[in-house]
Amino acid sequence: MTRHVELISTGAELLIGRTVNSHAHALARALHPTGLRLSRDTTIPDDPQVLLGTLKGALERVDVVVVTGGLGPTSDDITRETIAAWLDRPLVLDRDASERIRQACEKRGLEPSQARMRQALVLEGAVVWPNLTGAAPGELIEENGKFIVLLPGPPREMEPILTQSLVPWIEQQYRLIPPPEHIFLLAGAAEGDIVTLFEKHHFPPDGIAAAYCASAGTLEIRLSADSPVLLKGAADTVRGLLGDAVFAEERTSLEAVAGRMLAEKKLTLATAESCTGGLLGSRITNVSGSSAYYLGGVVAYDNRIKIQLLGVSEDTLAGYGAVSPQTAKQMAEGVRQRLGADFGIGITGIAGPAGGTAEKPVGLVYIALADDGQTKVRECRLSSNREFVRFMSTQLALDMLRLRLMQK
Amino acid sequence: MTRHVELISTGAELLIGRTVNSHAHALARALHPTGLRLSRDTTIPDDPQVLLGTLKGALERVDVVVVTGGLGPTSDDITRETIAAWLDRPLVLDRDASERIRQACEKRGLEPSQARMRQALVLEGAVVWPNLTGAAPGELIEENGKFIVLLPGPPREMEPILTQSLVPWIEQQYRLIPPPEHIFLLAGAAEGDIVTLFEKHHFPPDGIAAAYCASAGTLEIRLSADSPVLLKGAADTVRGLLGDAVFAEERTSLEAVAGRMLAEKKLTLATAESCTGGLLGSRITNVSGSSAYYLGGVVAYDNRIKIQLLGVSEDTLAGYGAVSPQTAKQMAEGVRQRLGADFGIGITGIAGPAGGTAEKPVGLVYIALADDGQTKVRECRLSSNREFVRFMSTQLALDMLRLRLMQK
C-alpha cells in the first residue's frame, strides 16, 4: 500500500473566491501522527464528470482518496449520488443519521423534509462515521482494495470526523513509522538570512535535507534524514547556530509558547493596543486556559482613551505624537500598573494603507514591554499590507515577551 | 479560447499542514471581474515529475495555467528550472529583478549570493512581471498558443503581481462579459432554514439557479441566470423574503458594512470583551478608516478588570456570575459611558473547551448593545469549537449593531 493520501475538495465556493480551502491543511495535520502523507489536493467544482475523472486519476496513484463536500441538502450537492451511480451501489438510509436529523428538526420546529433527510443516505456497505456537528455523516467505501472516504464540506463538520473517525481507522489499517524529521520555529526571521548563516557553517551536511516555509510571521525550518542519528546531530547544530531565536521545536503558536511560560512562572500580562485594535488580546485568548495569566487590556484606538484609561500624558501625545516610542512606553507602563499585571505590552503604529507620512511611514510600529524593572521599546519598520503589519506587530510583541521571560 | 484558468500550487508546506493554501481564493477573487473562472486548483509537492504531469494535464483542459511557488533561493525550489528544461528554453537573467535583489542585499548588508541571484532568472522570451514585495518576479510564457504563468509562492508577493500584472493582461487578452449573478450575504443564518423558506415560496423559479455557501458566520446565497431580466426579478423576490436579514448584496465583511453605517451617521462605538478577548476590536479595526467611528475598548478577561475599568458591580458578578445577561449589560453600558461613545457592545460567554457547567454550558454567550435609549441583551447558544464560538459571538454582535443602525 502507498503511504500517500489524496484529497479532492469539491464545491464552487472554493473556486469563486468565497472561501479559503482549509481542508488540505486540516487533513495534513490530522494525518501527521499516522505517518501517512497528503500527496495532492485537487479542488474542483460540483460537476459529476469532473469529480469522476479526478477520482479515477487519484485512485490510480494512491489507495486512500478523501472527497469533501457535496453531501448537503441542495441540488448542487452531487458527490454521494455520483459515486453511488459510478460504483453501481444503491443508497440506503443510515438509521443513526436520520434519527439525528429528525431530532434536530424537531428541536428547531422544522419539517424533516425530503431534502434534509437525503443527507442521511449512504452507499450500501459503507462504514458510516457519525457527524455530531451537522447532518450528513462521513463514510468509508472499499472498492477493489482501495478506499474512498466521503466527508461533509463545512470545516466544523469535517474536522471532528477526521480526528474522531478517519485517523483511528488509518492507525488501525496502516502501521507505519513516520520518517524522522525535526522542526524549528522562529518569529520574524527572514529565510534568506538563515540560509546565509547556514551556508557560512556548511550546513546542512550530506544526508540531511533542510526545507523552509515562511508564513504568518513564523519561519519553519524542517530537517529530515533517513538516519535518526544524523538528524539528532543536525538538530544540535541548528540549536547551536540559532540559540534563543527558536521559539519552538514542534508545531505550535507563539501565543501558546509565551502563555505556557507565563503560566509556569505564575506571572500575569495586560495589553494596550492601538493599531492592532485587539488582535494581540484575541491571539492570546485563543489559547484555552489563558485566563490563568492574561488579565485583559485596553484597545486605545482614540487618543482620548490613551489618556483616560492608560494615563498617557497629553504632552507626550502633543510633543511626540501617538506613534512614538514615548507613547508606546507610557501605554505599556500604564496598562501594567492600572491592571495590576506583572507585564504590560503597548503597541502603537501606522497599519496603513492611509495615515503614513514621510517621517512616519505606513508600517512604522513601536512595541513596548514593561515589567517591574524596566521598559524596553522596539521600533519596527514593516512592509506589505494592513493585515500583515498588524499581525507582525503582535508576533514581534509576543516574541519580545518570550525573550524577556527566558531571562526571568 | 476557454473561459477557464487552472491553478497549480506547489510546495511541501501546503501538504504537511503547515500553511493554509490561500492562492485559489486570491486568484478566484482577482479573476472575478474579468469574467474568467478558476476551474481547478491542484496542490502538489515540489517534485519535477509531479509538476510536469499536472501541468501537461491542465494545458490539455485550459489555455491559461498559473503555477505558484518554487521560485525561491533554496534547493527545493524547482519550478523555473523544471519548466525551462521541459520547454527546452534557456534561463536568462532579468536585469530589473537582479538589480532589485542587489539593492535589497546592499540595504541589509548581505552578500548577493548565487542562490539569491538565481531568483532573477526567467525563461527566455517570457514576459516578466515585477515583484515589488520580494525577489523572484512573475513571468508569462507562451507555448503553442497556451499560456503558463509562474508566480512566487508567498501570498504577499504573489497577490500584488496577480492584481497589478496578471489581471490587466487577462483583460487585454480576453474580452468577456461575466455571466449575470447576484449575491446576498446573511450573518448567522442556517442554510437549511433559507432553503425551507424558499421552498415554501416555490423559489427559485425555472431559469434561476441558487447556490449556497456558509463560512465564517456568513451565509452566501448566489443566484445566477442566463437572463439578466429573470435575475433581477429573482433578486427582488429574495430581497422581499429575507428583508433586514441581508447585510450586503456584494462580497464584503459585516465589519465593513457596520463600519460604513457608523461613519455615515457620524456615530461612535466602544467595545467591552470578555470571552472574545479583543477579536471584536481586531475585526472592526481591520477596516481601514475605522478610527473615524471606533474609539477603542476594554478586554476584561479578569473579573477585576470588569469592575475597575467598566464599572460592573461586584454584586452582579457575585449574584449572577460573569457569564450572565446582567454582566453583559453592565459591560456594554460601562464602556459606552466611560469611553464617551454612542454605542457600547459587551460580550461575555464560555468559549470552551473548558469552563462549562450544566447550567452554563460551553457556547453560552451574552451579547449586549447599549445606546442612549436602551440596552438590548441577546442570549446565544453556540456549538462547535473555541474559535467558532468566539468568531460567531463577534459576528452576532456586529449584526445586532447593524440592525440597530438601520432603525436610526
pLDDT band at B218 (very low <50, low <70, confident <90, very high): very high
Tell whether the model's pLDDT for residue B200 goes beyond 60.
yes
Three-state DSSP at B182 gives: strand
Q: How far is CA B122 from the centre of its chain?
A: 32
Residues of chain A with Cβ-Cβ distance to B14 below 8 Å are 24, 41
String of DSSP letters for A249-264: SSS--HHHHHHHHHHH
Structural domains in chain A, sorted by start: 4-173 (3.40.980.10), 181-248 (3.30.70), 254-407 (3.90.950.20)
The Cα–Cα gap between B1 and B382 comes to 48
Alpha helix positions (H), B12-65: 23-31, 48-61
For residue A94 the three cell numbers come to: 443510515
Of B262-276, B324-338, B369-383, the least confident: B369-383
Q: Tens digit of pLDDT for each residue in A354-399?
A: 888 888 999 999 999 999 989 999 999 987 688 889 999 999 999 9
Nearest to A352 by CA among A306, A378, A391: A391
Three-state DSSP at A396 gives: helix
Number of H helices, E strands in chain B: 15, 17
Q: Which residue has the cell 485563543?
A: A286
For residue B163 the three cell numbers come to: 492584481
Q: Tens digit of pLDDT for each residue in B163-196?
A: 999 998 988 888 766 667 899 999 988 888 898 8
Nearest to A1 by CA among A162, A110, A145: A145
ipTM above 0.90, yes or no: no
Residues of chain A with Cβ-Cβ distance to B152 below 8 Å are none
Chain A residue with minimum CA distance to B114? A196
Per-chain mean pLDDT for chain A:
92
The Cα–Cα gap between A114 and A127 comes to 23
Q: Which residue has the cell 447550567?
A: B359
Note whether B195 contacts A73, CB cutoff 8 Å. Answer: yes
For residue A228 the three cell numbers come to: 535518526
In angstroms, what separates the C-alpha of B195 from chain A's closest C-alpha?
8
Nearest to B275 by CA among B391, B155, B158, B165: B391
Residues of chain B with Cβ-Cβ distance to A302 below 8 Å are 291, 294-296, 339
Residues of chain B with Cβ-Cβ distance to A113 below 8 Å are 196, 199
State the pLDDT at residue A179. Answer: 66
Q: Tens digit of pLDDT for each residue in A93-137?
A: 999 999 999 988 887 777 888 888 999 999 999 999 999 888 999
State the pLDDT at residue A39. Answer: 93
In angstroms, what separates the C-alpha of A373 from chain B's closest C-alpha?
23
The Cα–Cα gap between B248 and B186 comes to 7
Predicted TM-score of the model (pTM): 0.73
Contact B295, B326 (CB under 8 A): no
User: B63: Cβ–Cβ under 8 A, 6 or more apart, which residues?
Assistant: B1, B2, B145, B146, B147
For residue B237 the three cell numbers come to: 423576490
Task: Name the strands in the sheet holding A343-349, side by side, starting at the edge strand that comes first in the sequence.
Answer: A375-381, A364-370, A343-349, A269-273, A294-300, B294-300, B269-273, B343-349, B364-370, B375-381
Note whether B297 contacts A299, CB cutoff 8 Å. Answer: yes
Specify which residues B128 forms β-bridges with: B139
Note whether A301 contacts B290, CB cutoff 8 Å. Answer: yes
The Cα–Cα gap between B30 and B16 comes to 27
Nearest to A119 by CA among A102, A107, A106: A102
Specify which residues B246 forms β-bridges with: B186
Tell whether the model's pLDDT for residue A278 goes beyond 70.
yes
Q: Tens digit of pLDDT for each residue in B289-307?
A: 999 999 999 999 999 999 9
Contact A271, A279 (CB under 8 A): no
Residues of chain B with Cβ-Cβ distance to A37 below 8 Å are 15-16
Per-chain mean pLDDT for chain B:
92
Note whether A15 contacts B28, CB cutoff 8 Å. Answer: yes
Pick from B290, B354, B385: CB nearest A289: B354
Q: What is the pLDDT averaged over residues B261-265? A: 97
Following CA atoms B197, B201, B202, B208 in sequence, which dihedral angle do they give, to the nearest 10 degrees?
-80
In angstroms, what separates the C-alpha of A89 from chain B's closest C-alpha?
28
Residues of chain B with Cβ-Cβ distance to A29 below 8 Å are 17
User: A226: Cβ–Cβ under 8 A, 6 or more apart, which residues?
Assistant: A179, A180, A207
Note whether B38 contacts A44, CB cutoff 8 Å. Answer: no
Number of H helices, E strands in chain A: 15, 17
User: B95: Cβ–Cβ under 8 A, 6 or more apart, which residues?
Assistant: none
Q: What is the pLDDT averaged over residues A71-82? A: 90
Contact A310, A327 (CB under 8 A): no
pLDDT band at B107 (very low <50, low <70, confident <90, very high): confident
Residue count (chain A): 408
The Cα–Cα gap between B76 and B54 comes to 18
